[in-house]
Chain A
Amino acid sequence: MPAVIECRDLRKTYDGKVEAVRGLNLEIPGGECFGLLGPNGAGKTTTIEILEGLLEPSSGEVTILGQTWKSHARELREQIGISLQETRLSEKLTVRETVKLFASFYSEPRPTNEVLAALQLEEKADSWVGKLSGGQKQRLAVATALVGSPKLLFLDEPTTGLDPQSRRQLWEIIRDFQRSGGTVLLTTHYMDEAERLCDRLAIVDHGQIIAEGSPADLIERLGGHHMVEFSLAGGSHGTSDRWKSLPGVDSVYNDDGLICLAVREPHRTIPALLDAVDKQSAQLEHLTTRQASLEDVFVRLTGRHLREE
């Protein structure tokens, strides 16, 4: 299947100074849900807005559905749906009026009622937008993106600030769209969202892709599916190398005093770890094991967390 989104050596410099995107390549085939995962300020929004044709790149090439923004802007607009990071829709219009307004811009829109039903907004159809909850507003934003029956959907941080139930509802809607043959590009800084929703993702930091693959791939590349985390009383941790030599340990990083071991077989690593701690006559202050996540991948690659408070 030919790529639905393709970009080569994408660069964007603001005011000749700030380099928001620094040489980014993407190739996303049709039917895929692709995620750009990264912390705030990594260049995700700049990247997605260039792909959406809303920003001009400083250099690089973008092809969407085999066409470029320069030559086929109107045709492309008919075929894609967009939800921006923050759009405040008019508060004194009803949900139905808002969807109808957006429908009027497309040459062959979906029936408004069908879209409202698909996004579980039927009950709120005649309420003013100003009266909606955060989750309902976000579903309405996605409704305005889906009303043109797009082949490709761009979602910039679709679930930021939503409660867990609203997030799951939106995930379900995005999956439905994908199941009906649509392609999705979304940005997020939630690793659980990326893990559950995306077929493939790119981890973006400082305007560049630092890792790309399916969530399972990326975690696999970390060297193990399990994380063993511990800290020692008194904080005398020694060097990471000492822990790296323990059986079954693939990689080690120190997360602010907490030693994190990526391991393949916890049942072999943990007894060895306890022995080693004993030999040092040190005392364990804390010990947990858990499944490895994309967060671990990100911390391993950058030394920082996705969401630095």
Chain B
Amino acid sequence: MSVAQQIPPQQELQRGSTRRNGRWTGFLHVLDVRMKELRREPEVVFWVFGFPILLALGLGIAFRNKPADVASVVIVSGSGSQEAVALIQGSGGRNSIHADVLDEPSALRGFRLGKYALVVQPNGRGRYEYRYDPARPESVLARALVDESLQSAAGRRDPLATTAVTSSEPGSRYIDFLIPGLLGMNLMNAAMWGIGFAIVDMRQRKLLKRFVATPMRRSDFLLALLSSRLLLMLIEVALLLGFGVFAFHMRILGSLWSILLIGSIGAISFGGLGLLTASRAQKIESASGLMNLVMMPMWIFSGVFFSGERFPAAVQPLIKALPLTALNDALRATILEGSSLASQSPRILVMGAWAVITFALALRWFRWT
């Protein structure tokens, strides 16, 4: 009796375990496995997530906006030197001028060595001689500052009434320019390596061949690789923008959805480029050379660290046609200026064209074995 009762559940268990796979089971498994493999490679985690943040941190600190340096000037001792010091101390510019009083040889030596930006030589009777170097910006600045201070302290009346407002707001600093550029570059690097390298590696290990020896849908496999890039893209965007906001008080004016959409289209177009670059290469070495060749012009021309506008007008159409230029420009416009998605459609179109063309060519040339 008890035996008879035990049999049915067991049969049911067996029937339940030989399940049928659904249409997307293979896709989901490839995607899952890709994400697991990435998580288990510490160096991948570093290059994808840690490196861009370190780069942003380093460059952000190096190029941070700091108050203009105090101008170091030297006043040659003698008649009128005390008067000069008193005038500077009594002027509005006293906080931005540091003045020493020295005898002439020491003063000239200090100027020559770059310790002082300006030598002021009073000759009594209210006459001053400035010795400065027009090739040194701080020297030019010091001359203007000291002259302004002396003249105004001595009672000069300005014919025009002027006021000044200082501006070093988030949005116009170098770090604000840098973060979207780094984000674009990182999306390119990660998509090119993440897809191109993975494919050549699997081809070299004969794993691609092993996969196509199963009923796996080839398009699903490539789609899963691309989807893994899109998932990582979400994390990259969140991480870099989050870092900019918290560490540098960056302001994000555009909508997050627009940024993510632009990032996705960028990631897809670079995924296509990575796929194309890796479509036939048999060895990692040849593939990585090819990938650097493809990415190099974009590192230089596409406005990652400085604006691509600095290049001659004749090459601007070419630069604008690069996918990274389109991505960086669209990201900057959205993040820094809050531009609408519609206003970025030409750039989105450029990226879309790259995606369609590279995918079409890659699928034609792709070698599984």
A118, CB-defined interface residue at 8 Å: no
Cβ contacts under 8 Å, A148 to chain B: 214-215
Chain B residues in 8 Å Cβ range of A100: 29
Residue of A nearest to B205 (CB): A88
Contact of A52 among B17, B26, B37, B213 (CB under 8 A): B213
Q: Please, how many angstroms separate the alpha-carbon atoms of A176 and B212 in the complex?
A: 26
In the bound assembly, the distance between CA atoms of A109 and B19 in angstroms comes to 7
Verify A78–B21 contact, CB threshold 8 A: no
Asked if A88 meets B206 with Cβ closer than 8 Å, knowing A106-B215, A107-B215, the reply is yes
Cβ of A124 under 8 Å from chain B: no
Which residue of the partner chain B has the closest CB to A74? B215
Supposing A88-B207, A105-B26, A106-B21 touch, asked if A93 and B36 sit within 8 A by C-beta, the answer is: yes
Residue interface bits B209-229, CB-to-A below 8 A is 1, else 0: 111111110000000000000
Give complex CA distance A105, B19 in Å. Answer: 13
Is A276 part of the binding interface, using a Cβ–Cβ cutoff of 8 Å? no
Interface string of B30-46 (1 = CB under 8 A from A): 10010011001100000
Shortest CB distance B195–A (Å):
16
A10 within 8 A of B: no
Decide: A77 and B210 in contact? CB cutoff 8 A.
Answer: no
- Residues of chain B within 8 A (CB-CB) of A18 are none
Interface size in chain B (residues, C-beta < 8 A): 27
Interface residue ranges of A77-110 to B (CB < 8 Å): 77-78, 82, 84, 86-90, 92-93, 97, 100-110
Mask for A42-59, Cβ within 8 A of B = 1, else 0? 000000000011110000
Q: Does B18 contact A (CB under 8 A)?
A: yes
Contact of A86 among B17, B41, B206 (CB under 8 A): B206
Complex Cα gap A4–B18 (Å): 25
Cα–Cα distance between A111 and B215 once the two chains are bound (Å) = 17
Chain A residues within an 8 Å CB radius of B29: 100-101, 104-105
- B209 adjacent to A84 (CB under 8 Å): yes
Residues of the B chain whose Cβ atoms lie less than 8 Å from the Cβ of A107: 20-21, 215
Q: Are A144 and B210 in contact (CB under 8 A)?
A: yes
Inside 8 A of B216's CB, which chain A residues have their CB?
Answer: 105
Assess the A87–B206 pair: CB atoms within 8 A: yes
Minimal Cβ-Cβ distance residue in B for A94: B36
Which of B25, B36, B206, B209 touches A104 (beta carbons < 8 Å)? B25
CB distance from A167 to the nearest CB of B (A): 22
- C-alpha spacing A84/B325, complex, angstroms: 44
Contacts of A97 in B (CB 8 A): 33, 36
| Nearest CB of chain A from residue B45's CB, rounded to whole Å | 12
B256 within 8 A of A: no
18 inter-chain pairs at a CB distance below 8 angstroms, sorted by A residue, are A54-B209, A54-B212, A77-B214, A77-B215, A78-B215, A84-B210, A87-B205, A87-B207, A89-B205, A89-B207, A92-B41, A103-B21, A104-B26, A104-B30, A105-B211, A111-B17, A113-B17, A114-B17
Query: Which residues from chain B sit less than 8 Å from chain A, CB to CB?
Result: 17-21, 25-26, 28-30, 33, 36-37, 40-41, 205-207, 209-216, 369
